[in-house]
Amino acid sequence: MVRIQVSEHRFVEIRRRSLCDNCSVRNCTSFDGSRVTECAGFKPLFLVLLKCRECGRVYDPYQSLRSLDYALCPECNHINKGVAMISFVCRE
């Protein structure tokens, strides 16, 4: 599960196991028991749109389940796939 900040005081929790975990469709026939990462019938519980920090494109973070960086759209995440992520740890 990942928490994405969508406004100053509001966060959205996206479950990364499967797109079906985030879907509001009842009695769906798309789920076959495995992990679903793409679905034409996907309907989120509520609409969230983010602006990509790299290219400025507006995208739906629910369609980016495999992303490591949710501040980037799926295309920019795919382009940066070979780039190692660097994390900084500050200790006082």
User: What residues make up the domain containing 31?
Assistant: 2-82
Q: Which of 91, 62, 92, 64 is nearest to 80 (CA)?
A: 64
Is 69 part of a structural domain of the chain?
Answer: yes
More confident of the two residues 6 and 86:
6
Question: CA angle, 32 as apex, 30 and 36 as ends, to 5°?
Answer: 70
User: Is the entire prediction scored with pTM above 0.75?
Assistant: no
Is 89 part of a structural domain of the chain?
Answer: no
Total domains in the fold of the chain: 1
Is 10 part of a structural domain of the chain?
Answer: yes
Q: pLDDT, tens digit, for every residue of 37-91? A: 888 888 988 888 889 999 999 998 887 777 778 888 888 888 766 554 444 455 5
Lowest mean pLDDT among 17-21, 28-32, 38-42, 57-61: 28-32
Is 28 part of a structural domain of the chain?
Answer: yes
